[in-house]
Structure formats: structure tokens, C-alpha cells
């Protein structure tokens, strides 16, 4: 994760509805998945995390969904997976430079939610 990886600076080709490519739709395709923004937020807050620590930080996500989400985020160049030790086997997930660049968007989502949304009443 040196930041010198040329892939970090390449633009991703992302599907877009309609005939003209739309950066908003393309970004929403990646960030619109249920757990993606939460995973990015937790990695922004906590820094690199192992799978179990990340699963605990993203309360409510199943192991399968977290694994699939991390794989998708990795394919989009937002998260990197690093083997920390082999005995015992341990993997750590962290944000790439591209993933960290989403911080203003994730913070804006959090701030908007805090201002305009409320948790459902228990009952």
C-alpha cells in the first residue's frame, strides 16, 4: 500500500444506465450496496482491521456478505487485503488511497443522516 501502485490512479470502468456515461450513477453503483459505505466508514475510523474485528465493527453483517463486500471493494481498488501472518493465518483489510479519497463523501452521508434521519421508534 505504498500509494505508488499505478492501478490506484487508473480510472475504473463502471456500468452506467443509459447511453451516456454518468459519473453519479457509476459512483452510486459502487457505494449503493448496503454495506459498502459502512465498511469504508469503519476502516476510515479504525484503520486496518482483521476480518473478525471488521465484522464486529459492522454490526449486523453476516460473514458471507462481509466477505463478498470486501471482495467487491477490493476489485474496485478501494480496499486491500494483506496477509499479516500465516501461523496463525491472519488477514488485515485496509483502505487504498482511492478508498480513503471517499472520506468526504462518507462523512457527508453520516452528517446528513444525523441531521435529517432518526432511528425507528421501538415498539
Q: pLDDT at residue 24 above 80?
A: yes
What's residue 23's pLDDT? Answer: 84
* Alpha carbons 5 and 7: distance in angstroms, whole number: 5
**Integer CA distances (angstroms), 104 to 14, 33, 44, 107, 110, in order:** 21, 18, 11, 5, 10
Matching residue, cell 463502471? 14
Residue 3: per-residue pLDDT: 45
Question: In the predicted model, what is the mean pLDDT of residues 65-86?
Answer: 95
Question: Structural domain boundaries of the chain?
Answer: 15-114
Q: Across all residues in the chain, what is the average pLDDT?
A: 88
pLDDT tops 50 at residue 7: yes
- What is the pLDDT confidence band of residue 15, given thresholds at 50, 70 and 90? low
Q: Which of the following CATH numbers is that of domain 15-114: 3.30.70.2860, 1.10.3720.10, 1.10.10.10, 3.40.50.300? A: 1.10.10.10
Amino acid at each position: 500500500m505504498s500509494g505508488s501502485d499505478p492501478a490506484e490512479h487508473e480510472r475504473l470502468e463502471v456500468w452506467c444506465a443509459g447511453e451516456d456515461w454518468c459519473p453519479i450513477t457509476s459512483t452510486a453503483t459502487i457505494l449503493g450496496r448496503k454495506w459498502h459505505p459502512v465498511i469504508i466508514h469503519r476502516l476510515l475510523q479504525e484503520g486496518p482491521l482483521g476480518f473478525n474485528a471488521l465484522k464486529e465493527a459492522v454490526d449486523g453483517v453476516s460473514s458471507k456478505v462481509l466477505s463478498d463486500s470486501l471482495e467487491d471493494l477490493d476489485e474496485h481498488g478501494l480496499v486491500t487485503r494483506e496477509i499479516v501472518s500465516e501461523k496463525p493465518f491472519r488477514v488485515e483489510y485496509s483502505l487504498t488511497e482511492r478508498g480513503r479519497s471517499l472520506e468526504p463523501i462518507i462523512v457527508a452521508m453520516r452528517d446528513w443522516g444525523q441531521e435529517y434521519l432518526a432511528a425507528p421508534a421501538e415498539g
